[in-house]
Amino acid sequence: MEARLNLFANPVAGSLIKHFNAAGKAIADSSLPAATQELVKIRASQINGCAFCADMHTKDATAAGESATRLHLVATWREATVFTEAERAALELAEQATRIADAAGGVTDEAWANAAKHYDEEQLGALIGIIALINAYNRVNVINQQPAGDYVPGMFG
């Protein structure tokens, strides 16, 4: 598989990615736990079928010390016992927000209330941001047919 467009060589796409990365830095610098951020990015990428992002974020999580067991169970987190209640709330929020077009009411009040039990306002803002941002990255990469498998942690700076 070959990408349809070199996103970094294209002036408009390159500028867009630069702004996406700046938004990602703001979220990464928040108090939302890094492990939660990666789990959310992985789950949304799985739902959206974004192999490039799934590859990147599972490798980044592994490099940060995440266990293989937890990474293998992200797709089936509801039945898995390896996630905290806070992580489960974040994964539920990520799923509902990623599938927003499939849900008549969008994100449910119950999912929001559950997340709000575990995260403060700064962290909730970061959760909203990370979910929106990874969905945007997923769409760019899926549209572009960005190939997966060659990512090395840290290769983008």
Q: How many CB atoms lie within 10 A of CB 59?
A: 19
What confidence score (pLDDT) does residue 152 get? 96
- Contact indicator for 17, 7 with CB cutoff of 8 Å: yes
What confidence score (pLDDT) does residue 63 get? 95
What confidence score (pLDDT) does residue 113 get? 98
Per-residue pLDDT of the chain (157 residues; tens, 9 = 90+): 799 999 999 999 999 999 999 999 999 999 999 999 999 999 999 999 999 999 999 999 999 999 999 999 999 999 999 999 999 999 999 999 999 988 767 899 999 999 999 999 999 999 999 999 999 999 999 999 999 999 999 888 7
Radius of gyration of the chain (CA): 15
Domains and CATH numbers, the chain: 37-144 (1.20.1290.10)
Question: What CA–CA distance (Å, rounded) separates 121 from 144?
Answer: 35
Residue 63 Rama label (left phi>0; alpha psi -120 to 50; beta) = alpha
Question: What CA–CA distance (Å, rounded) separates 119 from 21?
Answer: 23
What confidence score (pLDDT) does residue 156 get? 84
- Give the helix ranges, DSSP H, for 9-120: 11-28, 34-48, 51-63, 68-73, 85-98, 109-118
Q: What are residue 133's phi and psi, to 5 degrees?
A: -70, -45
* 37 Cβ contact list (under 8 Å, min separation 6): 27, 28, 126, 130
